Structure 1
Amino acid sequence: MRDNSPSLIPGLVICGLVILSAAVSCAQLAEKPKPATSQYTFAPTPSWQDEFDYSGKPDAAKWSYDLGDHGWGNNELENYTSNIENAKVENGNLVITAIKEPSGKQQYNSARLVSKGKGDFTYGKFEIRAKLPKGRGTWPAIWMLASGNEYGNKGWPDNGEIDIMEHVGFDQDRLHGNIHTKAFNHAIKSNKGNNIVVKGLSEDFHVYTCEWTPEAITILVDGNAYFTFKKEASYQWAEWPFDKPFHLILNIAVGGNWGGQKGVDDSIFPQKMKVDYVRVYPLVTK
């Protein structure tokens, strides 16, 4: 048999060099640094808060009132007042009370507290511990609106809305978290949001949280995230107006396009939303 081994050596050497070269190239690719991505966290202590450890009217340095009986764009049935019967601090809680009683042009009165001009925030972690009212016709909310009107038609929904907590009394155990923008809102059936079943919303305190960064808005209850809205690369202000200051709103509406879908049970009133604390933790960029 003829011995061919010497003639194989150059081929083996070349093949080995090709394999070695490929291995080196793969190793170099593997070691190439990945593009840096932004990482966000929140400060461990609040930069703005109300612990409601006093008595009387809500702290005027932190809260103002939205007032009126005009339906608030939702055909609501309450008149929002600044009366202490509708909003007071006692026993360590802010208590917002909706009452069945003629007020202004309406047959109910309630309160809608706002931090605008006293607590305006761009990004952050917003944490509110609260116990909700109960009964058909109630529509409590913990939410945020833009403090300025810089986009589009200078109003809702162009400048955005963040709903940290919405609840309607005819669907007692269901909690809602939503965002609204010009491109995404319920009026054009493109709303972005989610809901979750939580027992004891009106019997126990729960912690409602929004984590807002330049890249995403996440809504949580008791530390459980159930809705995240991410900023896509293609988004402009119509999809993502969430780069300007927003303020907090706490209220109980009565009736309205959503809250009153199944009518109002007058026998349930008065109804209260109790708020143990409101805490805002600023964004920290790593």
Structure 2
Amino acid sequence: RNFEDNFDTLQESQWQIEHYIPTDHPEYPFVSYQRLTSQPNVFVENGNLHIVPKLQNELMSDHNLAIETGSLDLTDGCTRNECSKVAFGSDILPPIVSGRLTSIPFAFTYGVVYIRAKIPRGDWLYPELLLVPLFKKFVGEKALASILKVVRISDVVAGFKDFTGWNVDQRCYDGGPYKTTEFVRDELSDDFHEFSLHWTPDAIKLFVDNTMYMDSNVWWADPCYKDIESDFRSSLRDYRHLSLGVAAGGSLFPDSIVTDAGHAKPWRNGDAKASLKFWQNKTLWLPTWTAPSLLIDYVKVVALE
């Protein structure tokens, strides 16, 4: 089965606009995915899909205290299990409202995905152009590894200082990675580029504008595949569907990272106060969000099966 959307309109028969709090997200971003109506954050305009991250406190009545003391109720229209949250102590509400779409009717195994997009510009923002398993089998590191990323911000982007090595995420899936090219973040966010993922039974290859920047042999012997009690290896053949969105913060970024302006990452991965520390640092990162939206011109999938 093949799939194509040029985003002349928002085809809700093809896409589910997510509306939930992603507490089970394997990278723990500091976001909620919402379908906003009065100030839409997911919409089509001039032939492009726009996914626009916003500040949660600006959508609430008490701008100053809402994130740290308020509540968030997404029950009406919620698309997953986690639909509400009450701030308590350092466990604040997700400070960023973002958008995410999932290709509910379409899923495939093996093929090539093409996405022409303009990625967000701003510290701690990253695009989510993903192939997500149709049925969730794993948690933790293996759940993250089971998600195939059409663009891997940790590998394609060198805009952050000390962010040129292989990220520890997806090390189950990154057997024998071979990075061939490095791109600069600002170049990718200045204009549209075509990102593609080539998924075969033996390898996963990632491209930007037909230039390969990652070649990964999925059968490389590593801890996940050595676990004979696990069916992780066979799960790489499972059907996956498309998921498109924008995320902020979370565990994607290594603790050692330094921004272009020389600012250290304000939170540490695994810290219970990570989201709060990110939020308290907004005077440094918010001014860098000069073009925070993800724009997508088209999505095409040529499936092998």
Extract unaligned runs of 5+ from structure 2.
60-71, 73-92, 256-264, 267-281
Instruction: Report the structure number with the largest CA radius of gyration.
Output: 1
Q: In structure 2, what is the equivalent of residue 50 of structure 1?
A: 5
Q: Which amino acid aligns with 2:151?
A: M
Distance 1:271 1:51 in 2: 21
CA drift of 1:142 comes to 0.9
**Against the structure 1 CA distance between its residues 175 and 119, is the aligned structure 2 distance closer, same or farther, given a 3 Å change threshold?**
farther
Whether contact under 8 Å (2:177, 2:217) holds in the other structure is no
Q: In structure 1, what is the equivalent of residue 197 of structure 2?
A: 210
Distance 1:283 1:259 in 2: 33
Q: Which amino acid aligns with 1:267?
A: P
Distance 1:253 1:273 in 2: 10
Whether contact under 8 Å (2:26, 2:139) holds in the other structure is no
Distance 1:100 1:73 in 2: 22
* Residue 59 (str. 1) matches residue 17 (str. 2): no
Q: Which region of structure 1 is more displaced relative to structure 2, 90-99 or 66-75?
A: 66-75
Whether contact under 8 Å (1:135, 1:170) holds in the other structure is no
Q: In structure 1, what is the equivalent of residue 77 of structure 2?
A: none
The equivalences for 1:90-109 within 5 A come to 90-102=45-57, 104=72, 105-109=93-97
Extract unaligned runs of 5+ from structure 1.
1-45
RMSD over aligned CA atoms reads 3.5
Question: Could you list the per-position Cα deviations for residues 56-108 of structure 1 after superposition, in whole angstroms to 9, with x for gaps in the alignment?
Answer: xx321111133333553434222210125211000000000011232632322
Whether contact under 8 Å (1:164, 1:210) holds in the other structure is yes
Question: Could you list the per-position Cα deviations for residues 181-224 of structure 1 after superposition, in whole angstroms to 9, with x for gaps in the alignment?
Answer: 68447xxxx89574722461111111000111222211111111
Q: Which amino acid aligns with 1:64?
A: Q
Q: Which amino acid aligns with 2:95?
A: Q
* Residue 244 (str. 1) matches residue 199 (str. 2): no
Whether contact under 8 Å (2:6, 2:297) holds in the other structure is yes
**Against the structure 1 CA distance between its residues 161 and 62, is the aligned structure 2 distance closer, same or farther, given a 3 Å change threshold?**
same
Q: Which amino acid aligns with 1:271?
A: P
Whether contact under 8 Å (2:176, 2:220) holds in the other structure is no
The equivalences for 1:244-283 within 5 A come to 244-259=238-253, 262-263=265-266, 265-269=285-289, 271-283=292-304
* Residue 135 (str. 1) matches residue 122 (str. 2): yes
**Against the structure 1 CA distance between its residues 245 and 184, is the aligned structure 2 distance closer, same or farther, given a 3 Å change threshold?**
closer
Whether contact under 8 Å (1:134, 1:172) holds in the other structure is no
Q: In structure 2, what is the equivalent of residue 6 of structure 1?
A: none
Whether contact under 8 Å (1:145, 1:246) holds in the other structure is yes
The equivalences for 1:14-93 within 5 A come to 47-54=2-9, 58-71=10-23, 72-83=25-36, 85-93=40-48
Identity between Structure 1 and Structure 2 (%): 25
Distance 1:233 1:210 in 2: 19
Whether contact under 8 Å (2:119, 2:126) holds in the other structure is no
Partner secondary structure for residue 67 of structure 1: coil
Whether contact under 8 Å (2:2, 2:302) holds in the other structure is yes
Distance 1:254 1:69 in 2: 13
**Against the structure 1 CA distance between its residues 245 and 260, is the aligned structure 2 distance closer, same or farther, given a 3 Å change threshold?**
same
Q: Kindly indicate which of the two structures has a greater share of residues assigned to strand.
A: 1
Q: Which amino acid aligns with 1:196?
A: E
Whether contact under 8 Å (1:136, 1:170) holds in the other structure is no
